[in-house]
Amino acid sequence: MRALLTFCCCLLAAIANAQTTFPLYQSLPPGGIASPDEETKDKDNNRFLTSVPTLTSYLPTKDKATGAAVLIIPGGGYHVVVLQKEGNNIAEYFVKQGIAAFVLKYRLPSDKIMQDKSSGPLQDAQEAIKTIRARAAEWNIDTARVGVMGFSAGGHLASTLGTHFDRPVLAANAGLNLRPDFMVLVYPVISMEKDLTHAGSRKFLLGEHPDETNIKYYSNDRQVTRRTPPTLLFHTGDDKVVDVDNTLTFYQALRHQHVPTEMHIYPEGDHGFVLKLPAEGWMQIIMKWLGRTGMLNPGNSLLQGGTGQLY
């Protein structure tokens, strides 16, 4: 009997921790163009040509849940979604720490599947954070402790979410809280300026010859305000794919607006460097930062509005 009870408890715990993937929209996304889903994936679970956005939830058991949650946005230059290494693997670490994690497989910008390809990924990110807050009670989440983490081009999308939260892509979302409570950006693309950006990300998001208005709008260092969420940044000085100046420029913009921010620049490791490190190492920096900012504690008010101080 005792063995059966133990088995049942283990089974329930496994079910509670199992990931669940569901579509972000119940039908064709608003502004979407009906077309067959041409998604393909490679041996590393990277997704190409994806046109059906999904959210995958990783939920801690209720007794372990801190109430914090993070939306994870993988990178891939806006032409692929690095779903496993920059998404699922990261979520598995967070859930073990009692943090609910949600991996976003966003639509890749394409004139074939959306009316405005530059805003399609942002629409999905805004819909994802809205969904997390709308179902917070069901998932044991504190709506005031929902952040975002992004890698590379996913870092661009995450920082767009954190700087454009008061400009909903969908009119139906006007007045809703789309602001992440914190941001963790890992070797992020920040700028769309020609001499600073990642050329592939800019081309796929904005096209071959973007106008100055769109360049400025999606250069997120130029969109920082005092309400931009507290931010933790990671990069390497020898990154040959996304120049470290993206992170340095964003850090300066945050600092000048008195937004709490912390930056970790490593001398070498190139692009994707953290994926070669044990999660228990570099991600402990994130956990300590979340602890210092109060994001792991209920009733947090230290950084509400993004104008508090880290220490």
179 backbone dihedrals φ, ψ, rounded to 5°: -85, 125
**pLDDT over 70 at 18, yes or no:** no
* Domains located in the chain, CATH noted: 54-293 (3.40.50.1820)
Half-sphere exposure of 196 (CA within 13 A, CB side): 21
Mean pLDDT of 68-83: 96
pLDDT per residue over 202-244, tens digit each?
Answer: 999 999 999 999 999 999 999 999 999 999 999 999 999 999 9
pTM of the prediction?
0.90
CA 265, 269, 270, 272: dihedral to nearest 10 degrees?
-90
How does residue 41 score in pLDDT terms, banded at 50, 70 and 90?
confident
CA end-to-end span of the chain: 52
